[in-house]
Chains A and B, each alone.
Chain A
């Protein structure tokens, strides 16, 4: 209760409360309820940290409190809690989700201008995932299904075939047919004398049929995944084209 009351205006709310006779009980009850909040109290003013900032030694302060201590009252650049050396460029601000900017001067003594709190040191963003790495999950998933047997993937392909042929008309069905025939097992590749659309040459890598014939089943599955990838790329291109 206590914190709820004073959070919005910690600095302003307190002067009045000192004269309130009923403060005692409310204080003690709130203290018990909010013992966890103590982890987020400034080590100087003992309030919930405003513009919170953490030293390298891990001690939390309000930025205005720490600034005033280091620049006005202290003789040394030491952490008030553990006396570790404090360098301003090593302070870490904490950015919570709540209101983003409080006025840093709200705690200031008149005539003392407290600068903005040091900004966080931001490492580079993580590199975007490479396109090759995009479907690994899908690959794994499909690989699993493929291992179980041909049924589910075929169904999927058929479904895809249906959908896409319905959607895109003549061009895509040929691709999807290729896909459909390509999947079930390696022998089929070889056997597909009537590879109906003559697609094999333009397939990435241009593997001749013979090649597939001699491959182990596992590699045939790999091939299947490559084809799925190719299909995916083609669909992407088409969607992009349609989008334009």
Chain B
């Protein structure tokens, strides 16, 4: 579902390539705690392993993030989703889409994959209950034909989790 949307994507611009290489290098030197980049030769799609932080609801659980970069990264946000099964979280849909403002409206080109990862781990860690968003079924049905979460008009209503 997500692969079909990514395969139609334009290749990275030179600026994006340049920046991603720097980010990857930085990651290799100083990876964010709890994350592991799965090595591929595809600079445009990163797969990252997330380990739930100890002492949180998700400790000892491992999930996979898929990060796809648009042609004009970092001017445009990357598409970040959990590869199902996605963690049970009030802001994470069962298809892996994440309701997190920095991935959409609040994206800034000064952010990095690393900073996104830290935000996602922080979101997981501050969760107090393992449950799906209220509108999970409706939303997932809407996205069935491989829509990117970036096309969703998100409503960011909860700044606690």
Contact = CB atoms under 8 A, between A and B. Distances in A.
A65 B21 contact: no
B109 A80 contact: yes
Interface residues of B, number: 22
Interface residues of A, number: 30
Nearest to A62: B15
Mostly, the A contact residues are: helix
Interface of B: 13-15, 17-19, 21-23, 25-26, 28-29, 43, 72, 74-76, 105, 108-110
Nearest to B12: A18
Of the listed residues B21, B29, B72, the one surrounded by the most CB atoms of chain A closer than 10 A to its CB is B21
Contacts of B72: 73, 109
A17 B22 CA distance: 12
Given A14-B14, A24-B25, A46-B19, 17 more contacts: A11-B15, A12-B14, A18-B21, A18-B43, A23-B21, A27-B21, A28-B25, A28-B29, A31-B26, A46-B22, A68-B75, A69-B109, A72-B75, A73-B76, A80-B110, A109-B13, A109-B72
A18 B26 CA distance: 16
Interface of A: 10-12, 14-15, 17-18, 23-24, 27-28, 31, 43-47, 59, 65, 68-69, 72-73, 75, 78, 80-81, 83, 107, 109
A24 B25 CA distance: 8
Contacts of B105: 75
Of the listed residues B14, B15, B28, the one surrounded by the most CB atoms of chain A closer than 10 A to its CB is B15
Contacts of A107: 15
Contact of A65 (B14, B17, B109): B109
Nearest to B71: A109
A11 B109 contact: no
Nearest to B22: A46
Given A31-B25, A73-B75, A80 B15 contact: no
